[in-house]
Amino acid sequence: DVCSSDLDLKNVAAADLVIVNGLGFEGWIDRLIESAGYQGHVIVATDGLNPKRMNHEGKEIVDPHAWHSPQNAHVYVSNISKALIAALPDHKDVIVARTKAYQEKITELDQEMHEAFKNIPLEKRKVITAHDGFGYLGQAYDITFLAPMGISTDSEPSAHQLAVLIKQISEEDIKAVFIENIANPKILEQMVSEAGVSLQGVLYSDALSAPGTEADTYLKMMHHNIGVLTKAFAAN
């Protein structure tokens, strides 16, 4: 439990600014802030964007994984930049300049992604992942993501749900099956074994990789995911 970590409590208590994703992603954050006694500003990075809604166990919920759309990433950066300027007004010029440079990189990323997927037929843009964390990516680039675990990595799919998905993999000849860096791979390993396909590698969803590795920044994470997805689609 993140709220029981003394290090987390100390870090939050000593913070000048707390930035959260919002959209219900950090269900524990209010308890952590309260436990730490933090009295400063809390910035919600997703403020102002139009969230994607999805059906989860018969209920409509908001998908919190908004960062997988570069268009949404612009909103994140803008909100964070405004918060930093308010906290560090003497550094406004530097923050504005760095914000502009980073926004340009995000625009370039979006263009690269459209270019990477434009020649891939829609019927080949189908991906199996462990949990439903790539809805915004799918929405932005017309990719269909299917996930046995739904939106939560804590849920367990039923035998019927797995059977339906295994049948779909076979009938639609879906080759793009990926484990995630934050999810237990056992369910997908079982699925690919029964469906007679192979895992195509790792997609980064809710967390970056370790410092100095392939997906340790947002831009590197997105470029990694583009690379493995397009490679899998091309082989299909």
Q: What is the pLDDT along the chain (236 residues), one digit of tens a residue?
A: 444 467 788 999 999 999 999 999 998 898 999 999 999 999 999 999 999 988 766 788 899 999 999 999 999 999 999 999 999 999 999 999 999 999 999 999 999 999 999 999 999 999 998 888 999 999 999 999 988 766 555 566 677 778 888 888 888 888 888 888 877 778 788 888 888 888 888 999 999 999 999 999 999 999 999 999 999 998 87
Q: How far apart are CA 29 and CA 19, in angstroms?
A: 10
- The SS3 call for residue 75 is helix
User: Which one, of 32, 62, 59, lies nearest residue 49 by Cα?
Assistant: 62
Q: How far apart are CA 222 and CA 234, in angstroms?
A: 18
